[in-house]
Structure 1
Amino acid sequence: MKQKYKNEINYWRKRVIPRIIRTTFFYICYPVLFFVPIKRNKIVVSNFNGQGYGDNPKYICEYLLSQNEALDIVWLIDEKRVKNAQAFPSSIRLVSLTSFRALYELHTAKIWIDNCRKNIYPKKRKNQFYIQTWHASFSLKMMERLVEDKLPPKYVKRAKKDSKMCDLLIFESANTISDVPYNFWYEGEMFRNGTPRGDIFINYDERLVRKVYDHYNIDYHKKIVMYAPTFRQGYDLEVDITFLERLTQTFEKRFKNSYVMLVRLHPNDTKNKERILGGSLPQNIIDASDYEDMQELLCATDTLITDYSSSSGEALISEKKCFIYAYDYKEYSKDRGLLIDLDNLPFPVSTNQEELINQVYKFSNSDYLEKVERFKKIYNVFETGHASQDIGDRILQEIDQVK
């Protein structure tokens, strides 16, 4: 109990009080800042509240920079979570997410880009344009209004305010959610013709595969199997490293090839990484949680093992092997709920370790691809390969408009 109170005090001392001071100071200065003009060429970007160069915002920015080098792109970062600042193009300015400067940059930017609900922001000004890209390409788990009663009230309040500010919501093509605007408390314009982060699977680039292999010093003759579990809202994720070793060996026996396993935790779990993964990992198990771009990892991956994560959507598009390992299916269903029953997915589904081992041994690629193709048609799952360009052109159009 003492530790609980100690953690609560530390949270307020390190996070809440500085935020209150920073925001208060900003609004004290607001009468002066109100007259500071919006910079038409400034774009402020955030990825998972301070993470590195990845997800939908990255691919939009790459297209924008290829079209207009005069753009002033600001990326808000949490220094503790960004492990490789060198991954950012030199033309992108990095600003601390929790700084007064971040509020100033948002206040004076023409465009806001975010892939999850904003934690900090000044009042959105007239003629500013906010794009919410979201962070999924295939929704399997219930979200937002569908689980409003299970979400923290503070999050629901923030989500509703965020949607009210939003001018353009980017959402996947899949029809797993019948009424997306209603579910997101949103009444504005939508883009549902592919996702920026999905372009990479249509426009294949071998250099990205080699980039991942080189980053982790993996021999080119080895194949990668990646375990990427999603976040649990009401309880903790469990990862059995001994079992993952055994599973890697199973892949080697079944597919007659050398394998290495990457473990990629959800961004919300990375702060508890040491507890979840333990100490040092075996040589053939690599922690890939800090790699900035999940999509690059998926490009290099031969096989994905996940649970309720939207990363299974990338497996659908790329037609890579994918296994569902839902060891806590009953508990997760009660805690969060799923949009599609696991049995209706085209992937082999397992709820315990032995079942997953057996699914690997009896895997048939031809049967699998047939199921994947049928599933994509039923649920309207697709990527165009040019979503980044489509959205980037829309942003440039907004910037060029004189208002």
Structure 2
Amino acid sequence: MKKKISRIFEIIYKGSIRVRIYGLFYLCYPILRFIPIKKNKIVIDNYWGKGYGDNAKYICNYLLSTDKKLDIVWLYEPQYVSSPENDFPMGIRYVKNRTFKSLFEMYTARIWIDNVRKNFSINKRKGQYYIQTWHAGFSLKNIERNVADKLPPRYVKRAIKDSEMCDLLIFESSDMIEDVPYTFWYEGPLYRKGIPRNDIIINPKPEVIDKVYSTYNISKAKKIVMYAPTFRQNYDLKIDSQFLKNVVSFLSEKFDEEYVMLVRLHPNDTKSKESIFQDTSFGNTIIDASSYNDMQELLCATDTLITDYSSTIGEMMVSEKKCFIYAYDYDQYMKDRGLLMDLSDLPFPISKNESELKKQINDFDNDEYLKTVRRFKKQHNVFESGHASEDIGNIILEQIES
């Protein structure tokens, strides 16, 4: 009963926020649309207010390196960014999202950069340029229009409007989704030569790897295996600490190296965190890395990935590092969500239980693995240029200077 009451209050609270935002928008729009656009202003929204990360981070890093006079504004939510003065680098102005100031910044910017759909009815002005970087990597699951019947009607309406405003869509290179414009209700230019956040995967920096090791106090003599399962409804992840300890042992025995495991769960999955990390007997062998703000940096430091249906398998393809798919709930997941390709057609060893995973690790042959991965990349056009951030950054500079 308490949970139901709490849920009702949560719905009312969120609804009141939505009403305030819409009200603010409709009150301000007649005024803001007459304020001149600032030609060198770029406004970024990462997952509706998250911190310095994803594709926009790497585009910004390039822009900051050019020493151009740019006004880069990052919209943030306090629930995601508790100390913005520490989260953002010099040269980035941070503004609290869903405020009058954030609306002012959006309506007076020359460039918008988002990785998700805009979450309320903002209208792009003439003279503004909107880049949608999208948030997913390698396409393993159906998205957007291809699953429109399973999406909330409100989202579909918002997505269509968002795509109509979009001037450039960045999307991964593979042929997994046959018709990208159709899938996104989109008719404009595409950039498909790589994903900005994956530049660091192609060109890993030693200082980034050192940062990850230092953050978690890991000896450089040890290898990192990361367990990164995809999101599940109700956060129903059926994994315990004993399984994870066993995986570390399997890898250590096979490759004659000492391994440490980083566990990367969905940020809101407190249920699984409590289940896994209530056992403290494994010390610093299994570490919670769910709150680390940049998945790409973790992947740079990772030697081996254990995952299931996550798009991070794309990063493992381009880096050609070891990846094992552990899909204990494959049949149910296919029934609930479905995939674009059967897991058996992917270039990674697949297992549905612990004994199968142990066998796949024991039987692993790196030469055969590389042949399989490279063949798949060639067949399905999985490609990263390594300079997507620079390409997109230069497009932005051209728009600003035009």
TM-score normalised by length of structure 1: 0.94
**SS at 2:48 equivalent:** coil
Per-residue CA distance 1:46-102 (angstroms, 9 max, x = gap): 222222211111111111111144211111112222366424212111122232322
Partner of 1:149: 149
Counterparts of residues 216-227 of structure 1 (less than 5 Å): 216-227=216-227
Q: Deviation per CA, 1:23-49: give whole Å up to 9, x if none.
A: 313322332222211111111112222
Q: Within 1, Cα distance between the matches of 2:89 and 2:371?
A: 40
Judging changes above 3 Å, is the alpha-carbon distance between structure 1 residues 343 and 83 closer, same or farther for their aligned structure 2 residues?
A: farther
1:270 to 252, 267, 270: 267
Q: 1:242 offset after TM fit, Å?
A: 2.2
Specify the alignment match of 2:313 in structure 1: 312
User: What is the Cα deviation at residue 121 of structure 1?
Assistant: 5.6
1:347 aligns with 2:344: no
- Other-structure match for 1:390: 391
Partner of 1:74: 73
Identity %: 57
**Aligned residue number for residue 286 of structure 2:** 285
Shift of 1:203: 1.7
Tell me what 1:94 maps to: 94
Q: Measure how far apart 1:235 and its partner are.
A: 6.5
Residues 1:137 and 1:25: Cα distance change in structure 2 (over 3 Å)? closer
Secondary structure of 2:314's counterpart equals helix
- Trace 1:362-377 onto structure 2 (pairs within 5 A): 362-377=363-378
Counterpart for residue 31 of structure 1: 30
- Aligned-partner SS, 1:95: strand
TM-score, normalising length: structure 2: 0.94
| 4+ aligned runs moved over 4 Å, structure 1 | none
SS in 2 for 1:270: coil
Of 238-247 and 71-80, the range deviating more from structure 2: 238-247
- 5+ residue gaps in structure 1? none
Residues 1:140 and 1:40: Cα distance change in structure 2 (over 3 Å): same
C-alpha deviation, 1:129, in angstroms: 0.8
- Amino acid across the alignment from 2:271: R
Query: Which residue of 1 is the match for residue 122 of structure 2?
Result: 122
| Number of residues of Structure 1 aligned to a counterpart in Structure 2 | 396
1:300 is aligned with what amino acid? A
Structural mapping, 1:201-216, within 5 Å: 201-216=201-216
Distance 1:8 1:72 in 2: 41
Contact 1:23 1:100 in 2 (8 A): no
- Hey, what's the Cα distance between the residues in 1 that align with 2:234 and 2:10? 22
* Residue 173 of structure 1 pairs with residue 173 of structure 2: yes
Where does structure 2 lack aligned partners over 5 or more consecutive residues? none
Counterparts of 2:49 and 2:238, CA distance in 1: 25
Cα RMSD of the aligned pairs, angstroms, is: 1.7
1:199 and 1:385 in contact (8 A); partners too: yes
Counterpart mapping for 1:226-265 below 5 A: 226-233=226-233, 236-265=236-265
Superposed displacement of residue 233, structure 1: 4.8
Hey, what's the Cα distance between the residues in 2 that align with 1:211 and 1:194?
25
Determine if contact 1:103/1:121 at 8 Å carries over to the other structure. no
Secondary structure of the equivalent of 2:190? Answer: strand
